[in-house]
Amino acid sequence: MKLKTLHEVVQKAASAQSSRTAVTFDNGTATGVLTLTYKELISASNELTNLLRCSSLQNEHLIGLFCYPEVNLPVWVLGILQLPSTYLPLNPEVPPAQTVRILHQCKLTYCVIQNELLQKFQADFSSNFALDMCAEWPTQNVTLVRIHGRPSTEAHNSEMKTESRAQTVLPSNVIKTSASMTDGQKLLAYALHTSGTTGQPKIVRVPHCCILPNIMHLRDLFEVTADDVVFLASPLTFDPSVVEMFLALTSGAQLLIVPSVIKRMPDRLAQVLFTRHKTTILQATPTLLGRFGRLVLQQKVLSADSSLRVLALGGEACPSPALLRSWRQEGNHTQIFNLYGTTEVSCWATYHRVTETELIPSTDSVPLGEPLMDTMVEVRDDKGQLVSEGEGQVFIGGQYRVCLLDEEENIVPGTMRATGDWVMIRDSQLFYLGRRDCLVKRHGQQLHLDSVQQVVDSLTEVEACAVGLCEGDRLVAFIVPSPPHTETLLSSSNAYDGGSDGGGAIPSAGLERSIQRRLSDLLPSHAIPDCLVLVPSLPLTSHGKVALGELKQVYKRYRECLGTHRNRLSADAVKKKLLVLWKETLGLSEDVVVEAGANFLLSGGDSLQALRFCDSISAATGISSMGLLEVVLDGSYSDILRHVTMATFPKELDLEAQVALKRQHADAGAHSPVPPKRQIEEPSMTVTSVRHMGVVVASDTGIVGYVVRRAGEVVRVGHLHATESKSPTERSGGGSQKISQTDKCRTQEVNSETTDLATTVKDNDDLKPSHLLGPSKNTSDCGPAAVSDLQVGTSVDSPQLSLRVRWSSDTGRCVDASPVLLVETISGRATVLIGSHSHRMQALDLDSGEVHWERVLGDRLESSAAVSACGTLVAVGCYDGQVYFLRVDSGDTWWTFETKDAVKSCPTVDHSTGLVIVGSHDGHVYALNPLEKSLVWKRHCGGGAVFSSPCLHSTLRLLYAATLQGHLLCLNPATGATVWTQWRDIPFFSSPCCSSSAVFIGSVDGNIYSFSHMGDMLWQCTTSGPVFSSPCVVSAPPASNQSLVCGSHDGCVYSLSCTDGSVRWKFQTTGKVYSSPFIFRPHPGGRQTLVAAASTDGTVWVLNGQDGTVCASLSLPGELFSSPVVWEQTLVIGCRNDYVYCLELTQDPLMNSASQQ
């Protein structure tokens, strides 16, 4: 029996290949792969079909499918087809107004919705339709929703102006077919909606008998077997997805699915397709393929040893043979096909296999080729006459290759559809020419310029407009603003005056942004104009029509004026312009803070917006777009800024642009003059009996445990004796009364000359943390991770170590904050405290990763936390300007303190007074008393946000703070009074770090500076990139052996002499080093030190502290801006793939035994 439907052919293939993998979903991470066998696929789809039947949907002719690409996608499609019914894919990523129109036009009654999208569906459409939840099916991860009622009057009226010029009579039942049609023609497989930019939106309903010949013929042409891996490159709303899906599933092959965002990341997509899954069949548009870039195409996609057997290009004009040839590596044997077709006769109509002889320099284009099975192709001239030579329009059809459009109910088999595509017939071959008149194909999708004009005309800000293509394919909208906008704009029109009516362009960035934002909600991405040109009036021809030629001259003068302006651009102006373009393209409000590490696609952009962004940058700066798109798609905001700045100022590269801030900080204040230095007495390093007013010294029995923070900081915290122990609430009486001196948090003061924390803690058998390096800046005169007994110069072989993931915890969004560990002395329990850009603050068990508690705070958390001196409160800064004090045991809010801007600085705790000191982007440093819930003092730092963390030298009683305008301040920690300042006029992101004789800090000018505690510069060491990393000091007697370790954006980790800044060793990582290193010991009581570091490409490194050689490394599936923290055999770090990772550091037994032999 001849099989008539798609699902019948799949069932036949599945019965023969039941144990083979049918579907693979890869989310782009190391652990994000899900699979279904053919047996599981059929079982799950049968289950969905039965569930739909039980919901009385067996007579429902059209069912919507609202979902993202995921492993169950084929299950949902097959489940609907087997009902039998027709599936209508709905795109969650398009503006809701478009989907409302589709739902209204189809009169859709039921929709299957992916559970993760149910809330979005309700939010987007509940105001337009009545939505009833019929059933939720957790095993299928979908919910069935009934849709009824027409769009609300208000929503319908909002579209009236747009649709008034071309009203459509909606069919009473769009899925109804004529009784005169055959059963095969009646049985519909799927319905697709066109974008609405080819005139009016259309619904195309496709019978099984129309699409099956495509599948069967291409399966034979491509010689598909069960061993093939076919990539689902197209979205479900684009009919090539049907070919891709069923080409695999009807052959027993494997269908590979990835999230939409991965498709927009060329390097990551290539890794998934060709390194992980060895894809053999790829059907894609030339634009998608070209986005990989020539290097990746030659080395991975079309390399000599590529897994890709078949490359089918369609949806756009095929690239020239010369371009195809340049993409291939010598020795590549991939078969290349050119496919052509239209949605109205779904899917493909012709094919051409590109031969080796066609890839010669003399060949100018690739022909459309031969008709596919059951397809008829004709070329007709303007009079409808058949053409055998010369130009004409393509018509497609066939006896069974017929689809139903909109209200069509009765069509004649063999109907030929006009495509709007014009071709040249030469030597019996068809060569594609392009679109005619206003119907154009842009970014691979059809676009009707008149429909774009109608949408622009519908806006209240617009009096009149004309839309056209200028300078090739740049879509420009010429707009006459409506009153009252005209009066306010005309006064500023002289700058762009063209000297004739309609010849002047009116500059108004605010109005342009408003219109662009509205259009982004109403139009699909490829239909949004690249440029808006405001004009006082539209020039007319003698016939009263718009003189588009004159408008194009206006645009030419407009660009020339921009060119004159951009020649005078400063580096600062380029930086500001790029920020404006970023926000305009993504539709962000002006007050949004753009992080320098932000990725264009992950910030909500798509590939078409990326193209528009590149074009806008080129127009604004005059630079070539060569290489810019790759940076936009795969790089960060800072990478784009660096690229643009280097291209704009190749000879005079502005330093601030070169080092492109990881975060966008728009500090507008003028530089304050440097105050005169105040001389301070050199402190005596032998004085140990000094006590400050109000300080209580606790005995050892009051020690709670240890706090471990980034850059090797290890401090011990304590509170009252057990007999006196009270909660913060009990001690403060709810926060309203003052705490007595004896009730304050206590800490042990140590002799900075004689006490080594590494020695102190290793004597505690309960804690056993001796393989950590101490002491911290809060317990010694030396900085974080000082090691007093390290013998520099001793030859010690690098230990053979390995790293593996012990656990990971999902925080919901990127983790840029560094972890803080709180280790309890008595119980030995260790807790990880860390925040995320998801607004979440988590407390995790170090051993298991179990969440003790989680709090969602007011905004993003980039600041690392700090633990109060008593060990009962955790302090963390937030983007909402608050400093939160939470209970360590429960996460409950104890107190919040509000600054005037975002807090990204990590708090520092003064263990002598219990004060928590933190910087803010409002330019101040604040000293807070958490127990009394009071502000003790605040100090303005001379200009610029305080991003880095304050550093306290507890013995000298000096506090250091730095700003993004290059101020380094030394303050009195008790009063906030300024002791001295240094000003370098270059931002400081790096946090200061102290030793007994100096303070060290990195700068974005590429230098690591050393200043004496008197404020004199001692030395500077120049790296080859900006330094965001904070130094970490390693102490070793004598003082001349002290060294510091620090990272740089040149990709290196440096070990420098604290005495003169000379380089002792440096290690080149595989990325940039943004975060701070952490120094520790691999063995309890040992003298060997190790350095944990992270590079932004996702690699964690463990280096030998003596010579910088690699002891271990591990790549994580995301960028790393978080600093690693080590305790015993565990390393904790945050990652930009939304996870916190706990890594286990172990000695490699094989390598160890080999080294002993």
> Could you report the per-residue pLDDT of 124-174, keeping only the tens digit for each?
999 899 999 999 999 999 999 999 875 443 444 444 333 333 332 233 333
Length of the chain: 1157
36-45, 521-530, 953-962, 1048-1057 — which is least confidently predicted?
521-530
pLDDT score at 288: 76
Contact 292, 270 (CB under 8 A): yes
Residue, of 930 and 1034, whose pLDDT is higher: 930
Confidence of residue 578 (pLDDT cuts 50, 70, 90): very high
The distance of Cα 1155 from the centroid of its chain, to the nearest Å, equals: 43
Condensed to tens digits (0 to 9), the pLDDT of residues 846-898 reads 999 999 999 999 888 988 999 998 888 999 999 999 999 999 989 999 999 99
CA distance 866 to 821: 9
pLDDT score at 495: 35
The distance of Cα 816 from the centroid of its chain, to the nearest Å, equals: 13
Q: Is the dihedral of CA 31, 34, 37, 39 positive or negative?
A: positive
DSSP string for 606-618: -HHHHHHHHHHHH
What does the pLDDT average to over 664-689? 34
Compute CA distances 521 → 98, 197, 253, 528, 602, whole Å: 9, 14, 39, 10, 19
pLDDT score at 371: 96
Condensed to tens digits (0 to 9), the pLDDT of residues 4-41 reads 899 999 999 999 999 999 999 999 887 789 999 999 99
Helical residues (DSSP H) of 544-594, grouped into ranges: 548-566, 571-586
Residue, of 985 and 1109, whose pLDDT is higher: 1109
Per domain, the residue ranges of the chain are 6-426, 438-568, 570-664, 706-734+743-1156
Condensed to tens digits (0 to 9), the pLDDT of residues 36-72 reads 999 999 999 999 999 999 998 877 889 999 999 999 9
CATH number of 438-568: 3.30.300.30
Strands, E assignment, 710-751: 713-718
pLDDT score at 976: 92
Give the CA count within 13 Å in the CB-facing half-sphere of 764. Answer: 21
pLDDT score at 1113: 92
Tokens 């063995």 belong to which residue? 1083
CATH 1.10.3720.10 assigned to 570-664: no
Closest CA to 802 of 1143, 1156, 1154: 1143
Residue, of 291 and 328, whose pLDDT is higher: 328
Closest CA to 432 of 488, 377, 504: 377
CA distance 790 to 1080: 11
What does the pLDDT average to over 431-441? 71
Instruction: Look over the chain and give the mean of its residue pLDDT values, rounded to a whole number.
Output: 78
pLDDT score at 968: 93
Tokens 């005619």 belong to which residue? 436
pLDDT score at 79: 97
Q: Which CATH architecture has domain 706-734+743-1156?
A: 7 Propeller (2.130)
Greatest extent of the chain over all pairs of C-alpha atoms, in Å: 106
pLDDT score at 95: 83
Q: Give the other-Cβ count within 10 Å of 556's Cβ.
A: 13
Contact 430, 350 (CB under 8 A): yes
What percentage of the chain reaches a pLDDT higher than 90?
41
Backbone torsions φ then ψ of 270, nearest 5 degrees: -60, -40
pLDDT score at 319: 80
Confidence of residue 973 (pLDDT cuts 50, 70, 90): very high
SS3 for 411-469 is CCCCCEEEEEEEEEEECCEEEEEEECCCEEEECCEEEEHHHHHHHHHCCCCEEEEEEEE
Q: Which helix (H) or strand (E) holds 54?
A: helix 38-54
Condensed to tens digits (0 to 9), the pLDDT of residues 1093-1107 reads 999 899 999 999 889
What does the pLDDT average to over 547-558? 79
Confidence of residue 563 (pLDDT cuts 50, 70, 90): low
The two domains 6-426 and 706-734+743-1156 share their CATH topology (first three levels equal): no
Condensed to tens digits (0 to 9), the pLDDT of residues 718-770 reads 643 333 333 343 333 333 333 233 333 333 332 333 223 322 232 333 333 33
Angle at the Cα of 911 from the Cα atoms of 875 and 926, rounded to 5 degrees: 50
Q: Is the pLDDT of residue 684 over 80?
A: no
Q: Which residues of 222-243 are buried (b: 16+ CB within 10 A; e: fewer)?
A: bebeeebbbbbbbbbbbbbbbb
Confidence of residue 626 (pLDDT cuts 50, 70, 90): low
What does the pLDDT average to over 530-559? 72
What does the pLDDT average to over 668-691? 33
Q: Which residues pair with 845 in a beta bridge?
A: 831
Residue, of 24 and 825, whose pLDDT is higher: 24
pLDDT score at 420: 83
Residue, of 573 and 375, whose pLDDT is higher: 375
Specify the pTM. Answer: 0.48
CATH number of 6-426: 3.40.50.12780
Q: Is the pLDDT of residue 542 over 80?
A: no
Compute CA distances 118 → 44, 104, 124, 256, whole Å: 21, 19, 10, 25
What does the pLDDT average to over 1036-1048? 77
CA distance 1017 to 989: 19
